Amino acid sequence: MHRAISAADAARLIPDGASVLFGGFMGVGTPTRIVEALVERQARQLTIIGNDTARPGAGVGRLIEAGCVARAVVSHIGMNPMTQQKMIAGEVDVELVPQGTLIERIRAGGGGLGGVLTPTGLGTSAAQGKQIITVQGREFLLELPIRADFAIIHAHEADYNFNLTYRLTATNFNPIIALAADCVIAEPNEIVPVGVLSPDAVRTPGILVHHLVERPH
Amino acid sequence: MEQKEIIARRVALELRDQTLVNLGIGLPTLVAKYVPAGINVAFQSENGIIGFGSPPPTGMEDPNLTDAGGGFISALPGAVSFDSAMSFLLIRGGHLDVTVLGGLEVDAEGRLANWTIPGKLVPGMGGAMGLVAGARRVIVAMQHTARGQSKIVRELSLPPTSVRPVSLIVTDLAVLRPTPEGLVLQERAPGVAIATVLEATVAPLIVADDVPEMGIPST
């Protein structure tokens, strides 16, 4: 039977220099116990990939201010002045990607696709260096797949088969990033016995998840 | 009436019954207050919900129920939540009827810049590029001028959000409609003269003999 691990154990699985996909939108739906454990173990040189860097003190904003991050691939840093300061100081390399493009690139990476064709960003700075492909008379940008070494997920419920459910707007990037990493670690609010979750309620099949973090004490 | 209220009230008149609407952060959020009676719209937020309502009373917030700015919201009966891939499939796929966005500049061709001021403000484009590329109608809600400078310019000085022209621009002075021939001055704010609009606008405007006032209360 699968056992849950501590958040500290989860953080020890993620070495310095690793790339990490994270769930969360302005910190909502971010696995905060794993994030805190990464801060505590003084992780360094991480590449983090997700929607935004939240606010100072919230979500992955904690990783930024604790100096854990070398590179952030995100759609938005506007609510976190710390990210902007560190970007200007050259301490954190920031790559900005349109939100819908970022999630589709991750979906492509997780779903075995060679990329996606999107109209988003055509004629803007987001198109720099990218191939334009014409399909049925319309132009699209070729956006390449994204994968990472780790994905850290916030779920609502899990069972010991590692099946996951999500809640409301805390869902966001979580079900998609579960597809796109070599090692997937989920931090649920609750862990229930196998058989309790309705098959229809499960959004992430447990076969995608490698480690489950124990419920909050 | 405050400038922002003029803009929000006029944008609200663009909303049609039984449509899906996305309101950007800031000024566009105000539009929800002025939805005309008898018009039922569903609001989408790109972080993954259709059918949200006003912030709940203090003490009744749900940490898993927020808008794109991270603020607490409520879910109306019949609301639905989804992941970010679904959210942008809806947006890019033409399933979103209207998006209302703030703006830094709009040019004579109706192109919008609203996501960065290089060297000064680099917040990131978030969902804006996808919204402008994909929504059926894109309405810009913004002040006509900033620090005495017109925001309706001949050519964008700031990086564009999309090369697709927006559908309508609503400011505290006027309603402007991009056309292949240029920006048409469609309406003026209550009590505002055509000359005032022209003075506050750098881009050339196409002006008819009679330009009606916005159909909003004049006080």
A112-147 pLDDT per residue, tens: 999 999 999 999 999 999 999 999 999 999 999 999
Shortest distance between the Cα of A77 and any Cα of chain B, in A, equals 5
Nearest CB to A171 within list B63, B75, B82: B82
pLDDT at B79 over 80: yes
Contact list in A for residue B46 (CB cut-off 8 A) is 99-100
Alpha helices in chain A (DSSP H): 7-13, 32-40, 61-65, 81-88, 99-110, 174-177
Chain-chain contact of B88 with A99 (C-beta, under 8 angstroms)? yes
Q: Hey, which CATH number is domain A7-100+144-212, 3.40.1080.10, 3.30.70.141, 3.40.50.850, 3.30.70.270?
A: 3.40.1080.10
Structure confidence by residue, pLDDT tens digits, A24-48: 999 999 999 999 999 999 999 999 9
Residues in chain B with CB shorter than 8 Å from the CB of A78 are 121, 123-124, 126
CB contact under 8 A, A104 and B85: yes
* CB-defined contacts A:B, below 8 A: 149
Q: Which residue of A has its CA nearest to B122?
A: A78
Distance from CA of B48 to the nearest CA of A (A): 5
> Which residues of chain A make contact with B48, given a CB cutoff of 8 A?
25, 168-169, 171-172
pLDDT value at residue B69: 87
Alpha helices in B77-207 (DSSP H): 84-92, 128-134, 194-199
**In this structure, are strands B105-107 and B112-113 parallel, antiparallel, or unpaired?**
antiparallel
B46 is catalytic: yes
What residues of chain B have any CB closer than 8 angstroms to a CB in chain A? 45-49, 62-70, 75, 81-85, 87-88, 91-92, 121-130, 133-134, 159-163
Considering only alpha carbons, which residue of chain B is nearest residue A54? B70
Helix (H, G, I), strand (E, B) or coil at A182: strand
Q: Write the residue in B65, B70, B159 that is nearest to A168 by C-beta.
A: B65
Per-residue pLDDT band for A161 (boundaries 50, 70, 90) equals: very high
Q: Residue B118, exposed/middle/buried by CB under 10 A (0-12, 13-18, 19+)? A: exposed
Q: Reduced to 3 states, what is the DSSP secondary structure of residue B9?
A: helix
B-chain CB neighbours of A28 within 8 Å are 47, 63-64, 66, 70
Token pair listed for A13: 């699985």
**% of chain B exceeding 90 in pLDDT:** 91
Q: According to the model, what pLDDT value does residue A182 have?
A: 98
pLDDT at A60: 98
Buried b (16+ CB within 10 A) or exposed e, B163-190: bbbbbbbbbbbbbbbbeeeebbbbbbbe
Is the per-residue pLDDT at B122 higher than 90? no
Q: How far is CA B54 from CA A182, B65, B150, in A?
A: 40, 11, 33
The minimal CB distance from A168 to the residues B62, B88, B163 is found for B62
Output phi, psi for B32, to 5 deg.
-60, -30
Contact between A122 and A132 (Cβ < 8 Å): yes
A1 pLDDT higher than 60:
no
Shortest Cα distance, chain B CAs vs residue A161, angstroms? 22
Confidence of residue B25 (pLDDT cuts 50, 70, 90): confident
CA dihedral in degrees (B101, A141, B88, B155; nearest 10)? 0
Residue A150 predicted with pLDDT over 80: yes
The shortest CB-CB distance from B129 to any of A121, A168, A175 is to: A121
Are B116 and B125 in contact, with CB atoms under 8 Å apart?
yes
What pLDDT is attached to residue A2?
67
Q: Model's pTM, two decimal places?
A: 0.96
CA A7 to the chain's CA centroid:
17
Tokens of B86: 């679904």
Mean pLDDT within A148-176 = 97
Enumerate the domain spans of chain A.
7-100+144-212
pLDDT value of position A213: 98
Instruction: Give the nearest partner residue to B66 out of A28, A52, A156, using CB atoms.
Output: A28
Q: What is the DSSP string of A147-160?
A: -EEEEEEEEEEEET
Check pLDDT > 80 for residue B219: no
**At B8, which helix (H) or strand (E)?**
helix B3-12
d(CA A39, CA A69): 10
User: What would the pLDDT profile of B40-65 be if each residue is shown by its tens digit?
Assistant: 999 999 999 999 999 999 999 999 99
CB atoms within 10 A of CB A57: 11
Q: How many residues does chain A have?
A: 217
Catalytic site residue from B46, B61, B181, B199: B46
* Closest Cα in chain B, distance from residue A150 (Å): 19
Angle between helices A99-110 and B84-92 (to 10 degrees): 120
Terminal CA-CA length for chain B: 5
pLDDT at B26: 85
Best A169, A172, A176 member to test B by mutation, with max B CBs in 10 Å, is A169
Question: Which of B46, B125, B156 is the mutation pick for testing A, counting most A CBs within 10 A?
Answer: B125
Q: What is the mean pLDDT of residues B97-107?
A: 97
Task: Tell me if B169 sits within 8 A of B110, measured CB to CB.
Answer: yes
All residues of chain B having their beta carbon less than 8 Å from the beta carbon of residue A169 are 45, 47-49, 64-67, 81
Beta strands, E only, chain A: 19-22, 46-49, 69-74, 93-96, 116-118, 132-135, 138-143, 148-159, 181-192, 211-212
Judge: domain B3-206, CATH 3.10.450.230. no
What are the Cα distances from residue B47, in Å, to A18, B59, B90?
A: 26, 23, 12
Query: pLDDT for A54-100, tens place per residue?
Result: 999 999 999 999 999 999 999 999 999 999 999 999 999 999 999 99
Average pLDDT value for residue range A180-189: 98
**Interface contact A100-B125, CB threshold 8 A:** no
